[in-house]
Every structure is written in C-alpha cells, then in structure tokens.
C-alpha cells in the first residue's frame, strides 16, 4: 500500500509502537517486549498488539529494574522471529511513531535482517519532537510527563511496551488539533517536523 506524503494526517495510517529491550546495543542486547497501537489519523484502527519476546541475551538486574521482567519469566515467550514477523506484518502500509524511536528502529533493523526479514522502514515519527513543537518550554520530558501535560492520567511503576505505545497514541490524539492550527497538516509536514532515522552502526 503506497503512502502519499501530501495526504492529510487524518488520512494516514500510523502504528504507535514501543520495544522494551535488555539494553541499548542491538549486538549485545535483546528485544523482550513489543507493543503497538494502530491509528487511522487520530482514531484507533483495530486491535492493539502486544507480545513478550524470548531474549537471546542475558537479562541483567539493572534491566529487570526498568521493566520488571527477567529471563525466567520470558523463556516461554515467542521467539524474536515469530514476534517480529507479526509486528512487521502489522506495520505494512503504516507510518511508525514512537518516543525517541531511533534506538527501537536500530533493534528492528538488526533483528529483522538477522532472521531474514526486510525491515518495513528506517524512520519514524518521534512524538517527543511533536510535543516540543507545541510546548517548546517543556523539552526532554519522559512519556508520562508528556501525557500528564496534555491531561492524560498515568499510573506506571514499570515500563511496559503496550502501555508506552498507547501513551504515544493518546498524546498524538491530543496534539494533532494544535498542529493543524499551526499549519502542520500533511504527512510531509509532520515528517519534516518530527521524523528520526534509526541509529546506524556497523551492526546495521
């Protein structure tokens, strides 16, 4: 499905997503959760997607403190091959959106290529950049703080991929009317404002 960059944001299919990982290096760390929420413009568009992922590397104590999961809880989870196959299929024809998604994209590329899949894209919309455009005095906020700033209540003790993906979607829903009033109405304009590419290194 082709995507016209001149289409209005309200006519674009997005996939708000988040990966939970054991660390920040695709060579040494693993994806352990994938969460995704599809949107058509600003409307929810089908069922949310969530899966734990069987880690291929050690889950450290520090990593467990962030997301509350360890290897013992994840060893029965779907493999990266199974989980990424489902995610990549869901992403077809959609624009990815996340919070600071450059690292997530690097993991997506490395793992997809490692198991023989074609990554759907090497860029995504960064909701943090969108938020900074609207609230320039509130830069570098975490996802919960951004959500609370636009009136979304959060209650989180651990990171969870689906919870984070849902917050990205809800924040986007809240800020699109303001973007439109400021002249950001098409996918091209949104991409020029807030797109990021995957972090590149020798592993990708």
| Cα–Cα separations (whole angstroms), residue 78 to 51, 52, 69 | 8, 7, 15
Q: Name residues whose C-beta falls within 8 Å of residue 169's C-beta, 6 or more positions apart in sequence.
A: 14, 16, 37, 39, 44, 97
Is 80 in contact with 115 (CB distance < 8 Å)? yes
Roughly how many angstroms between the first and final C-alpha of the chain, as a whole number?
26
What is the token pair recorded at 83?
A: 């989980």
Question: pLDDT at position 195, please?
Answer: 97
Is 54 in contact with 77 (CB distance < 8 Å)? yes
Q: Per-residue pLDDT for the chain (204 aa), expressed as one digit of tens each? A: 689 999 999 999 999 999 999 999 999 999 999 999 999 999 999 999 999 999 987 665 565 555 556 566 788 899 999 999 999 999 999 999 999 999 999 999 999 999 899 888 999 999 999 999 999 998 889 999 999 999 999 876 667 999 999 999 999 999 999 999 999 999 999 999 999 999 876 544
Question: pLDDT at position 75, please?
Answer: 83
Is 70 in contact with 22 (CB distance < 8 Å)? no
Q: Estimate the share of the chain in helix, then strand, then coil, as percent rounded to the nearest 5.
A: 40, 20, 40
Stated as kind and residue range, the H or E segment containing 86 is helix 80-91
**Distance (Å, rounded) from C-alpha 189 to C-alpha 100?**
19
What dihedral angle (degrees, nearest 10) is formed by the CA atoms of 95, 128, 133, 11? 20
Give the chain's domains with CATH numbers: 9-197 (3.30.420.10)
Residue 201 CB coordination number (10 Å): 11
Closest CA to 130 of 42, 32, 6, 24: 42
Burial of 136 (0-12, 13-18, 19+ CB in 10 A): exposed
What is the token pair recorded at 65?
A: 């403190």
Question: pLDDT at position 155, please?
Answer: 76
Burial of 178 (0-12, 13-18, 19+ CB in 10 A): middle
196, β-bridge pairs = 124
């Amino acid at each position: 499905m082709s995507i016209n960059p001149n289409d209005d944001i309200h006519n674009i299919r997005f996939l708000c997503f988040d990966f939970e990982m054991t660390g920040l290096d695709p060579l040494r760390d693993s994806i352990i959760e994938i969460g995704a929420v599809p949107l058509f413009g600003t409307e929810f568009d089908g069922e949310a997607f969530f899966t734990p992922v069987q880690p291929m590397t050690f889950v450290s104590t520090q990593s467990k403190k962030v997301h509350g999961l360890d290897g013992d809880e994840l060893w029965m989870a779907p493999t990266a091959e199974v989980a990424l196959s489902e995610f990549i299929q869901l992403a077809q024809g959609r624009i990815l959106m996340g919070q600071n998604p450059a690292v997530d994209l690097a993991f997506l590329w490395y793992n997809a290529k490692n198991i023989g899949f074609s990554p759907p894209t090497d860029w995504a919309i960064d909701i943090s950049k969108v938020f900074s455009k609207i609230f320039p005095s509130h830069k570098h906020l975490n996802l919960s703080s951004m959500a609370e700033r636009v009136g979304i209540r959060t209650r989180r003790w651990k990171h969870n991929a689906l919870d984070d993906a849902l917050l990205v979607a809800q924040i986007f829903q809240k800020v699109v009317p303001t973007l439109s009033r400021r002249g950001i109405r098409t996918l091209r304009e949104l991409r020029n404002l807030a797109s990021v590419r995957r972090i590149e290194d020798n592993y990708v």
